[in-house]
Each structure stands twice: as C-alpha cells, then as structure tokens.
Amino acid sequence: MEIIIDIVCQVYAGLKSKKTIDLVLKTFLPGYEKLNLNYTYPRHDKNYIFKTEDEMIGYFIENPALDQTFYWNKYHDNPDKIMVGANITEDDKLIISLTMDTTEEKRDMYFNQLKEILQSNIGVITYVDPADYENGEDFIVKYG
C-alpha cells in the first residue's frame, strides 16, 4: 500500500464552536501538543499574550466576524502524522481539516469519520494545499 503525503480532508462544521474543536481533537489527536500561547493575539492588542489555549480559542469563538486558523499536531504515537486544523471564518463558521500521510483507504476512512462526527456532507479532499475558499458560505457553495 502506497503512503500518500500531505492529504488534506476538509469538512464544514457549521457555526464556530469550541465544543466541536475539542471533539475533533479528542477523536483524531488525543494527547495533542498544546498551542504556543503566542500563536496569535487579540485583534485589538498585538502585544497581548493569551494565558491559556482555551482563552485564545475562546476569544475567536466569542467575538463575531473574526477569522483565524489553528493547527494542532502530535509528534509521538501518530503513525499517520495527522494534524488537526480549525478554520474559524469571518462569517462565524467552522471548517475542520485533517492533514495526514496515509493510504487512500485510510484517507477515505478518516474523511468519512470526520463527516460523520461533524454531521456534515460538505467537504473536499485536496493534496498539499488546503482548498481555496473565502468564508464558510463560499466553502458550502464550492464543496457542498
């Protein structure tokens, strides 16, 4: 079986939600590496450093019309080299991605599992680069 590198599975997850992000992380990347607290900053204060990962994500979930993408990784016990991405769009939607190095069969399994968990049939598989879209509505139109 041939391993394909940099497979990107993206699925529309509906309205932005920390609960959804946590569910995907727990399912696909248990024991993930926490984000660096200087990963990003509040839009009103470039010098502020978030105190926790939850505070950082919460800021983008709780404030409307912000866009931000987060990526989580795990460097041990992750044979398919899965990386979880959460793209919070400016129209307050959430697109979840799984980037991985694996076989076509496992790719399809992960993609279908992600769609099932998110209760969404809107998604796309790309290679190396994530799919191109402007916001959540644009993702729905292009990949729904």
**pLDDT at residue 1, as a whole number:** 80
The backbone torsions φ and ψ at residue 60, rounded to the nearest 5 degrees and listed phi first, read: -80, -25
pTM attached to this predicted model: 0.95
Q: Is residue 19 part of a domain?
A: yes
Q: Is residue 58 part of a domain?
A: no
Q: Given a cut of 90, is residue 89 above it in pLDDT?
A: yes
The per-residue pLDDT for range 19-42, each reduced to its tens digit, is 999 999 999 999 999 999 999 999
Q: Is residue 40 part of a domain?
A: no
**pLDDT at residue 18, as a whole number:** 98
Domain count, the chain: 1
Q: Is residue 103 part of a domain?
A: yes
Q: Is residue 60 part of a domain?
A: no
- Write out the residue range of the structural domain in which residue 114 sits: 4-35+66-143
Q: Is residue 50 part of a domain?
A: no
How far CA 43 is from CA of 31, 64, 65, in Å, comes to 29, 12, 11
What is the domain-level CATH number for residue 132? 3.30.160
CB-based contacts of 33, cutoff 8 Å, min separation 6: 72, 73, 74, 75
